[in-house]
Amino acid sequence: MRQFHKSTKLDNVLYDVRGPVVDEAARMEEAGMHVLKLNIGNPAPFGFRTPDEVVYDMARQLTDTEGYSASKGLFSARKAIMQYAQLKNIPNVGIEDIYTGNGVSELINLSMSALLDDGDEVLVPSPDYPLWTACVNLAGGTAVHYTCDEQSEWYPDIDDMRAKITDRTVAIVLINPNNPTGALYPPEVLQQIVDLAREHQLMIFSDEIYDRLVMDGLKHVSIASMAPDLFCVTFSGLSKSHMIAGYRVGWMILSGNKRIAKDYIEGINMLTNMRICSNVPAQSIVQTALGGHQSVNDYIVPGGRLCEQRDYIYEALNSIDGITAVKPKAAFYIFPKIDVKKFNITDDEQFALDLLHDERILITRGGGFNWQEPDHFRIVYLPRIEVLKDAVDKLADFLRYYRQ
């Protein structure tokens, strides 16, 4: 049976992603201009509030959380996450298989650093949440992108995935629900990915940070629940579901066939110990946050803010001549397509810069998500409808005259 080994390049991790469009927006703001930022998935600035009980609970525990915790995290937090894993039918998870982190971000980095040696390949979606590609490559591996297909609800193209597997492929990364497309993968699609991973003995990394932000009455299924015989790592956290991106708390869950990953788990434990522990006050509210009524549910049903904003942005963007977008099912992003012929667009960064200069709207170009064509951009639809309406009106005006 194949074994997974930890990387020898653990010390050479750099992170330096900063786009010129964001820099330009910062410069404009410093010059006193107002820029509407539709570029980051940070709920709090848009008026989404952390549930009161969570803030209360943290305040109450602050004096008890002055010291380090165990490196994997507080027992209470991990117990609550373990119960969460059970509710999602993730198999073979004990308390020792749960790690808290300073957001999912830290754990993505850690999980890739612990895994990869030079030349190891990891299948990463295109478009992706770019931290995945960055972390794979910085850890010494090679991110090999598989296409998600806009014609099929942005689901992963399984044939493309299969075609990209080589004898150096060690893992498949899944972002479900997806950032930037807002797609939610149904069990049929997940099953095909499991079959592929089983056939080629690949690990599965599933980033499920938006799993509690699913609309239209749909249900999120964790791929790990379908793969008890494979080794899976599932990521989630409270940044989005509890509107506390600033508190920095997320987790990862190891599940399934852990025997084949003993050496890898040793690497994970080493790195986890090296960073001592994640933010302890933030860990202290995990149990309260995950228990009982989930206030995020009020946002994602018809009449709820996120659902209404999603419906609005979807209709409004599609009514612009030259823009089409697939309806997102989850999270708070939409990834519209631009008719590049109509607008003569060859450079999506230039498009984003021109929109910023002319309309003071900051979006993220598709290339920022490792999308290879200059024909997409991402909008974060967290702002209220009146703000989104203003942005869409400006975008429509801009596209009336814009030619690159």
Ligand X SMILES: Cc1ncc(COP(=O)(O)O)c(C=O)c1O
List interacting residues with ligand X (CB under 6 A).
Answer: 41, 103-105, 129, 175, 179, 207, 209, 237, 239, 245, 250
Closest contact distance (angstroms) between CB of 320 and ligand X is: 25
Closest contact distance (angstroms) between CB of 17 and ligand X is: 13
Our CB check for ligand X shows the closer of 105 and 402 to be: 105
Closest contact distance (angstroms) between CB of 61 and ligand X is: 20
* Closest residue by beta carbon to ligand X: 103
CA distance 219 to 212: 9
Our CB check for ligand X shows the closer of 44 and 307 to be: 44
Closest contact distance (angstroms) between CB of 383 and ligand X is: 16
Closest contact distance (angstroms) between CB of 55 and ligand X is: 18
Closest contact distance (angstroms) between CB of 179 and ligand X is: 4
**Phi, psi (5° rounding) for residue 158?**
-65, -35
Q: Classify the C-alpha dihedral 349-354-359-360 as positive or negative.
A: positive
Compute CA distances 233 → 4, 39, 402, 404, whole Å.
13, 28, 45, 43
Compute CA distances 7 → 113, 117, 180, 254, 271, whole Å.
6, 5, 29, 18, 11
CA distance 127 to 377: 10
CA-based angle 183:185:189, to the nearest 5? 140
Our CB check for ligand X shows the closer of 104 and 253 to be: 104
CA-based angle 109:134:283, to the nearest 5? 30
Q: Which residue bears the tokens 């599940």?
A: 255
Q: How far apart are the first and last CA of the chain?
A: 54
Our CB check for ligand X shows the closer of 343 and 370 to be: 370
Closest contact distance (angstroms) between CB of 178 and ligand X is: 7
Our CB check for ligand X shows the closer of 165 and 243 to be: 243
Closest contact distance (angstroms) between CB of 34 and ligand X is: 24
Our CB check for ligand X shows the closer of 105 and 359 to be: 105
CA distance 258 to 194: 16
Strand order in the sheet with 333-334: 333-334, 377-380, 364-365
CA-based angle 266:268:273, to the nearest 5? 95
- Name the packing angle between helices 385-401 and 348-359 (round to 10°): 110
Our CB check for ligand X shows the closer of 153 and 207 to be: 207
Our CB check for ligand X shows the closer of 69 and 364 to be: 364
Give the DSSP per-residue string, 291-346.
SS--TTHHHHSTTSHHHHHHHHHHHHHHTSTTEE-PPP-BTTEE--EE-HHHHT--
Compute CA distances 232 → 2, 121, 205, 228, whole Å.
15, 17, 6, 8
Closest contact distance (angstroms) between CB of 105 and ligand X is: 3
- What residues pair up with 204 in beta bridges, in sequence order? 172, 232
Our CB check for ligand X shows the closer of 249 and 392 to be: 249
Our CB check for ligand X shows the closer of 129 and 381 to be: 129
Closest contact distance (angstroms) between CB of 246 and ligand X is: 9
